[in-house]
Structure 1
Amino acid sequence: MLSLTQNTSRQREILEVVFRNGWDYMRSVLTGTSADEPQLPPPEVLRKILVELGPVYVKLGQLLSTRPDLLPKSYIEALSDLQANVPPVQWIEIVSLLEQELPQPPKEIFRAIDQESVAAGSIAQVHWATLKNGEKVAVKIQRPGIDVIVDQDISVIKNIAELVALTDFGKDFDIVALAEEFTNAIRVELNFTTEAYYTEQLRQNLSKSRWFDPDRVVIPKVYWDLTTPKILVLEWLDGVPLLKSKLAKTESSHKYQKQRREITTLLFRAFFQQIYIDGFFHADPHPGNIFYLRDGRVALLDCGMVGRLDPRTQQILTEMLLAIVDIDAQRCTQLTLELSESGQPPSLARFQNDYDQMLRKYYNLSIAQINFSEVFYETLQIARNNRIRLPRNMGLYSKTLANLEGVSRSFDPEVNLLDEIKPLMTDLFRRQLFGDNPVETFLRTALDIKSLSLRSPRQFEQFLDRLTSETLKWNVNLKELDGLRRSLDDSANRVAFSIVVGALIMGAANISSGSQTAQLSLISNILFATASLLGLWLIISILRSGHLK
């Protein structure tokens, strides 16, 4: 339990930052006092707090920016380009780590290595280097001691999550599980071999395609013999961020417009293959990670964050894209529920009505005017408002599309998303129907039909045999059939009792009218008494059943 009376120096530091920025809700959480529904500070204030708290919280903010299913769009935008305000580590510390991690002394591996970092982040910094064989490489080096800081801050984050979990918000979104998810993601980023595997997988997937020329899309090569959990050595790619390239800044002309459109089409097709075909995609395509190389190729950098989609989810998302284009609120509702991890919303009618109101804004717009990333963000907002919890990969999917569309529209403002994806949709549906190998799918279907055709005559023959031999039994389950049977049984029993009572009365009357002796008179009285008792019991049972009428 976090409180002011039980805190470490790190917790006190967090309290000071929170107090200084006036986040009252988190102040109540950190001091252990009761807190109402969570209230986030304004987006820029939250961003400032995370920067002041240091590298781990900056990384937490970056991870939060991939979850538009949890946060409104304004927070996603504020956190998307979050960078820690940390200076590069001194070269003497970098050399010490290189000596510990590399299989040989740095002087025996590198012909030259730049002591000034090319880029410095919250977890690592990158240096340019040349190997002994003359190949240029990028060396990503983990900040020394960051693992200790991460462990310390992760403990604090989990404690805060346990307190927030006591609120309705924490229960609805399973805040403890979310904290566990985020902290695991941070730990994964501390192991550079994982990023190396992601990079290699994307490189292999994009090395072949039916939609674009694979030679025009580059993923840096991994130098596995020099890569360790704290050092990642990649091929050096000579270029600049796409939006800072000469092509992006050149005035519009037919020649440059055509080149821009070719690159935009290339990007869309490369990412649609990753998302809808491979099910394994680069989940952080912001402007700084898409490079335009000097030879005209496009490179995707920083592959540490990836998303995964199974075939069922891929199919649902393909249909969702078409439902949005068709402005079909009912279909969007059904598809969202198919993706849901939390079941039905409190009100299905309200849920569909929210979709209808959202899509109604786009009735009179052309496809070129529709911002699809905006639509997906609003879709996640609707799910959040209706207490529907979607899988984490939906946040990564939406963020990836938003980044991709944002970069593409900035690079080529006249791009039409539907025109770019329309040629791909037909192929997507064909693949979902027939698979990657139509011949194999056809043969498998043919075998199933053959198996069915071989079994059917024998099964039909058995059916006729049982029908003619009167051994056929039907298992029929009708609603409330047992109640109807009991009701009929009760009615039949009452009719039988009525007949018996009537017979006893008539018999007693006959005996009484012709009785000559005391014995016959006694039998008549016994029959009358028995009939009276049975009649009384029958009346009582009818009254108790409640079905007098």
Structure 2
Amino acid sequence: MFSLTQTSSRQREIIEIVFSNGWDYMRGLLTGRKTDEPQIPRPEVLRKILVELGPFYVKLGQLLSTRPDLLPPNYIEALSALQANVPPVPWTLIKIVIEEQLQKPIEEIFSQIDPIPVAAGSIGQIHKATLQDGREVALKVQRPGIDKIVAQDSALIRGIAELVSLSEFGQNYDIVNLADEFTRTVKSELDFTEEGRFTEQLRQNLEKSPWFDPRDLVIPQIYWEFSNEKLLVLEWLDGTALLEADITFPKSDITPQARRKAITSLLFRAFFQQIYIDGFFHADPHPGNIFYLKDGRVALIDCGMIGRLDPRTQQLLTEMLLAVLDLDAQRCSQLTLELSDSSQPVNLVRLKNDYDSLLRKYYNLNLAEINFSEIFYAILQLARNNKIKLPGNLGLYAKSLANLEGVARKFNPDINVFEEVKPLIADLFRRQFIGDTPLPTFLRTALDFKSISLKSPRQIEVLLDRLTSESLQWNLNLNELSSVRRTMDDSANRLSFSVIVGSLIIGAAIISSGAQSQQLSLISDVLFAVASFLGLWLTISILRSGRLK
């Protein structure tokens, strides 16, 4: 637990940064005073706090930017711009790490290494090198001591999460499990072999495709004989970021505009295959991770963040895409509930009305003008507003689509996204209905129909027997019936209470009219007093409930 009574220097640093940025809610939690309704700081303030806290928290912010199911779009936009402003580690220290991991002198394996890093991040930095056999490679080297920093800050993050979990906000979002999930993700990035496996699997998946020529897309090769947990050796790809590239090179008869259209089409087809066919996709296709190579091919790099989708979720997302194109609010509502992994009751009328309001904005738009990633972000926010908990991998899915569409629109402003995805959606539905192997699919369907035809007469006979013998029982489960039952119970109780009060008044009146003695008069007065008190109590309770009308 994060405590102010026994604080380390790191805890004191966190407290000072939080205080200096004026985050009142966290200030209240850290000082133990009563807090108001939980409030996260404004997007710019949150980003500033994470940057000041250091590389580990920047990495957490970058992970949060992949969860539009948890945060509104303005926070996602602010956190997506986070870059770890980390100075590179001196070459002398990096050289020690490399030799420790290789357990050999550098000169035995590399003929040359550039001591100036190509890039430096919170977890590692990259150097260009040449193997003894002449192959150019990229060395991703882990920063010395980063594993200890991650372990220390992970414990502090969990302590803060336990504090926040005491609030209603923390319980609604299961903030402790969320913190554990993020810290596990960061710790997994410390093992470079996992990134290597992701890269290798992505490369193998995209080596064959029904939608594009795999030779046009490159995923760097991993040199496993030199790679381990803290050192990753990859094929060096000579090119520049796509948005900064001169696409007229290499020279050809294809016009620049036609080349741009071909590249955006390639990217959409490659990512639709990853998402909707393979269920294993590059979850961070921002502009810096898509390269245009000098030989005219396109490359995807930095495959450390991967999203996964199971076949059922793939099918539901395909149907959701079609429902959005049809502007079908009812179908969108049903699919959202099917995607949900929560058993909480949902107000279906409100959910459909929210979808009506969302999709109404697109009624008069041409399909070419629709921003699909914006719609999916809005769907995640709509689910959050209706307290529908969607799987975390949908956040990565929406973030990947948003990055892809953003890059495509900047690279090729004339792009028609609908025209790009329309043939892919048609092929996806064909695959879902008949699969890649129509004959086995047909035979399985025929066997299913045969099984139904054999079982149906017997099941109908059992149903008719139960109907005629009056032994048929129905087991119904109606959502939100408990609240209706409580309302009816309250109404019945008030009615009974009113009858009792009326009976007391009538009884007191009868006794009073025929009272011959002082005792009967006293009983009459007591009954009148009790009836008056109960009647007043009933009136006050009805007024306080606000349901007088």
TM-score bin (small chain): 0.7 to 0.9
Residues 1:134 and 2:134 aligned together: yes
Q: Which amino acid aligns with 1:382?
A: L
Is the contact between residue 337 and residue 344 of structure 1 (CA under 8 Å) also seen in structure 2? no
For residues 2 and 294 of structure 1, do their structure 2 counterparts lie closer, same or farther at Cα, with a shift above 3 Å needed? same
Residues 1:363 and 2:363 aligned together: yes
Aligned mates of 2:80, 2:236 — CA distance in 1: 25
Report how many aligned residue pairs link the two structures.
472
Q: Which residue of the partner structure matches residue 532 of structure 1? A: none
What SS does the corresponding residue of 1:240 show, helix, strand or coil? strand
Aligned mates of 1:66, 1:345 — CA distance in 2: 27
Q: Which residue of the partner structure matches residue 222 of structure 1? A: 222
Q: Which residue of the partner structure matches residue 190 of structure 2? A: 190
Q: Which residue of the partner structure matches residue 428 of structure 2? A: 428
- Percent identical: 64
Aligned mates of 2:443, 2:431 — CA distance in 1: 16
Aligned mates of 1:33, 1:224 — CA distance in 2: 54
TM-score of the superposed pair, with normalisation by structure 1: 0.82
Task: Give the drift of 1:344.
Answer: 4.4
Aligned mates of 2:300, 2:32 — CA distance in 1: 45
Deviations 1:325-381 (A, max 9, x none): 111111111111111122345522222211111111111111111111111111111
Residues 1:277 and 2:271 aligned together: no
Is the contact between residue 373 and residue 402 of structure 2 (CA under 8 Å) also seen in structure 1? yes
1:473-492 paired onto structure 2 within 5 Å: 475-477=471-473
Aligned mates of 2:334, 2:452 — CA distance in 1: 33
Aligned mates of 1:462, 1:267 — CA distance in 2: 53
1:60-71 paired onto structure 2 within 5 Å: 60-71=60-71
For residues 370 and 448 of structure 1, do their structure 2 counterparts lie closer, same or farther at Cα, with a shift above 3 Å needed? closer
Task: Give the drift of 1:474.
Answer: 7.7
Query: Unaligned regions of 5+ residues in structure 2, if any?
Result: 477-549
For residues 140 and 431 of structure 1, do their structure 2 counterparts lie closer, same or farther at Cα, with a shift above 3 Å needed? same
Q: Which residue of the partner structure matches residue 77 of structure 1? A: 77
What SS does the corresponding residue of 2:247 show, helix, strand or coil? helix
Aligned mates of 2:471, 2:293 — CA distance in 1: 71
Q: Which residue of the partner structure matches residue 258 of structure 2? A: 258
Q: Which residue of the partner structure matches residue 208 of structure 1? A: 208
Aligned mates of 2:459, 2:309 — CA distance in 1: 46
Residues 1:394 and 2:390 aligned together: no
Task: Give the drift of 1:448.
Answer: 3.9
Task: Give the drift of 1:320.
Answer: 0.6
Aligned mates of 1:245, 1:97 — CA distance in 2: 34
Aligned mates of 2:143, 2:61 — CA distance in 1: 19
What SS does the corresponding residue of 1:89 show, helix, strand or coil? coil
Residues 1:410 and 2:410 aligned together: yes
Task: Give the drift of 1:450.
Answer: 5.0
Is the contact between residue 119 and residue 127 of structure 1 (CA under 8 Å) also seen in structure 2? yes
Q: Which residue of the partner structure matches residue 146 of structure 1? A: 146
Task: Give the drift of 1:451.
Answer: 5.5
Question: Which one has a bigger Cα radius of gyration?
Answer: 1
Is the contact between residue 126 and residue 138 of structure 2 (CA under 8 Å) also seen in structure 1? yes
Deviations 1:420-462 (A, max 9, x none): 0111111101111112221221233334445666x569x7699
Task: Give the drift of 1:247.
Answer: 2.7
1:40-79 paired onto structure 2 within 5 Å: 40-79=40-79
What SS does the corresponding residue of 1:15 show, helix, strand or coil? helix
Q: Which residue of the partner structure matches residue 335 of structure 1? A: 335
Q: Which residue of the partner structure matches residue 291 of structure 1? A: 291
Q: Which residue of the partner structure matches residue 437 of structure 1? A: 437
What SS does the corresponding residue of 1:228 show, helix, strand or coil? coil
Q: Which amino acid aligns with 2:55?
A: P
CA RMSD of aligned residues (A): 2.4
Aligned mates of 2:58, 2:402 — CA distance in 1: 21
Aligned mates of 1:279, 1:433 — CA distance in 2: 17
What SS does the corresponding residue of 1:141 show, helix, strand or coil? strand
Is the contact between residue 36 and residue 167 of structure 1 (CA under 8 Å) also seen in structure 2? no
Q: Which amino acid aligns with 1:207?
A: E
Q: Which residue of the partner structure matches residue 487 of structure 2? A: none
Aligned mates of 2:178, 2:80 — CA distance in 1: 19
Aligned mates of 1:302, 1:198 — CA distance in 2: 10
Aligned mates of 1:30, 1:122 — CA distance in 2: 27
1:49-128 paired onto structure 2 within 5 Å: 49-128=49-128
Deviations 1:235-273 (A, max 9, x none): 000000000011399xxx981111100000000000000
What SS does the corresponding residue of 1:140 show, helix, strand or coil? strand
For residues 134 and 461 of structure 1, do their structure 2 counterparts lie closer, same or farther at Cα, with a shift above 3 Å needed? closer
Is the contact between residue 345 and residue 351 of structure 1 (CA under 8 Å) also seen in structure 2? no
Is the contact between residue 198 and residue 304 of structure 2 (CA under 8 Å) also seen in structure 1? yes
Q: Which amino acid aligns with 1:476?
A: L
Q: Which residue of the partner structure matches residue 157 of structure 2? A: 157
Aligned mates of 2:450, 2:161 — CA distance in 1: 57
Deviations 1:92-112 (A, max 9, x none): 111111111114321111010
What SS does the corresponding residue of 1:246 show, helix, strand or coil? coil
Query: Unaligned regions of 5+ residues in structure 1, if any?
Result: 481-549
Q: Which amino acid aligns with 2:473?
A: N
Aligned mates of 2:256, 2:99 — CA distance in 1: 48
TM-score of the superposed pair, with normalisation by structure 2: 0.82
Aligned mates of 2:260, 2:24 — CA distance in 1: 48
Q: Which residue of the partner structure matches residue 536 of structure 1? A: none
Aligned mates of 2:77, 2:459 — CA distance in 1: 68
What SS does the corresponding residue of 2:141 show, helix, strand or coil? strand
Aligned mates of 2:16, 2:460 — CA distance in 1: 82
What SS does the corresponding residue of 1:222 show, helix, strand or coil? coil
Aligned mates of 2:8, 2:366 — CA distance in 1: 57
Aligned mates of 1:77, 1:248 — CA distance in 2: 32
Q: Which amino acid aligns with 2:144?
A: P
Task: Give the drift of 1:209.
Answer: 0.3
Aligned mates of 1:54, 1:462 — CA distance in 2: 68
For residues 207 and 474 of structure 1, do their structure 2 counterparts lie closer, same or farther at Cα, with a shift above 3 Å needed? farther
Aligned mates of 2:26, 2:3 — CA distance in 1: 12
Q: Which residue of the partner structure matches residue 320 of structure 1? A: 320
Aligned mates of 1:86, 1:336 — CA distance in 2: 41
Deviations 1:199-222 (A, max 9, x none): 000000000001000011110000
Deviations 1:403-431 (A, max 9, x none): 00000000011111110011111110111
Aligned mates of 2:189, 2:124 — CA distance in 1: 10
For residues 478 and 286 of structure 1, do their structure 2 counterparts lie closer, same or farther at Cα, with a shift above 3 Å needed? closer
Aligned mates of 2:37, 2:153 — CA distance in 1: 24
For residues 478 and 327 of structure 1, do their structure 2 counterparts lie closer, same or farther at Cα, with a shift above 3 Å needed? closer
Residues 1:231 and 2:231 aligned together: yes
Greater mean alpha carbon deviation, residues 61-70 or residues 160-169 = 160-169
Is the contact between residue 67 and residue 399 of structure 1 (CA under 8 Å) also seen in structure 2? yes
